[in-house]
Amino acid sequence: MEPPGLYGTTMIYDTLDALDHYAHLFIVDNPVYEPHHPEPFDGMFTAHSHWGTVFLVKEGEVLVCSTHARQPGTLLRDINGFVHHESSGITSTARVDANHFIFFHPYEPYALIVEKEAAVARLLVEVR
């Protein structure tokens, strides 16, 4: 599968009721929620080079932003397979709460913005 950065972003934002409709693409297992505290957006975006990323929120809400993906060959991976880069700007934003989820393909950049404390699970999932 080619990384979506070659063709544009392909994030999925939907309700939790519809999560099972995406089982042909990825499976969400045993989310672990961690507290996230407000922090100012530092202009950095993250993506994983091998796994898709799903955000779920148990309590509160968060903004999840995306930007234009870069060619994978121009990005350096850290030891855990994540790539990080600055962007010229946010291209899309979704508000994720206890009724919604958001999914990003490998290499698709995202940034999590927490305005008030929230319980958030970031799951790395195999993309089928």
Q: What is the pLDDT of residues 22-42, one digit of tens each?
A: 999 999 999 999 999 998 888
Does 72 have pLDDT greater than 80? Answer: no
State how far the Cα of 1 lies from the Cα of 17, in Å rounded to an integer: 27
pLDDT at 3: 45
Structure tokens at 17: 């009721």
- The amino acid occupying position 9 is T
Angle of CA points 92, 10, 77, to nearest 5°: 90
Enclosing domain of residue 110? 4-125
CATH number of the domain to which 78 belongs: 2.60.120.10
pLDDT at 73: 61
Total count of domains within the chain: 1
Buried b (16+ CB within 10 A) or exposed e, 40-68: eeeeebbbbbebbbbbbbeebbbebbbbe
Structure tokens at 57: 């929120």
Structure tokens at 111: 């940034």
Tokens 């290499």 map to which residue? 107
